[in-house]
Amino acid sequence: MGDNITKEQQEKIIRLQSLEQNLQHLLAQKQQIQSQAIEVESAQEEVSKSKNKVFKIVGSVMIESTKETLEKDLNAKKEIFELKLKKIEKHEEKIKEESKYLQEEILKSMQNGQ
């Protein structure tokens, strides 16, 4: 970093960079969960349209199931994904707030130092 930057400013900058990396990781997780949720919704639509036998994959085997059981399983998965998304969004907001605060602190301290 520069000679004009104090140790405290350096620490804040490092913390800010760490938060940004955490945010990127969190956004990747969020995108993956959203993708899985879309797959579940698509499966729910197909199951609801089905008038014949329904099957589900367990491990590497496809087994016959009842429509009601499959709908119940899919609803449970959807709820889990929704809860995970809410948790990630809360964490994302917390990181964004802390990043904004640190950015402001860094800017203030650098402006006051010059």
Query: How would you write the pLDDT of the chain (114 residues) with one tens digit per residue?
Result: 445 788 999 999 999 999 999 999 999 999 999 999 999 999 999 999 998 889 998 899 999 999 999 999 999 999 999 999 999 999 999 999 999 999 999 999 888 865
Q: Which CATH number fits domain 7-109: 2.40.50.140, 3.20.20.70, 1.10.287.370, 1.10.10.10?
A: 1.10.287.370
d(CA 78, CA 50): 19
Say what the pTM is: 0.81
pLDDT at 1: 47
The C-alpha angle with vertex 33 and arms to 92 and 53, in degrees rounded to 5, equals 155
b/e map of 2-11 (b: 16 or more CB within 10 Å)?
eeeeeeebee
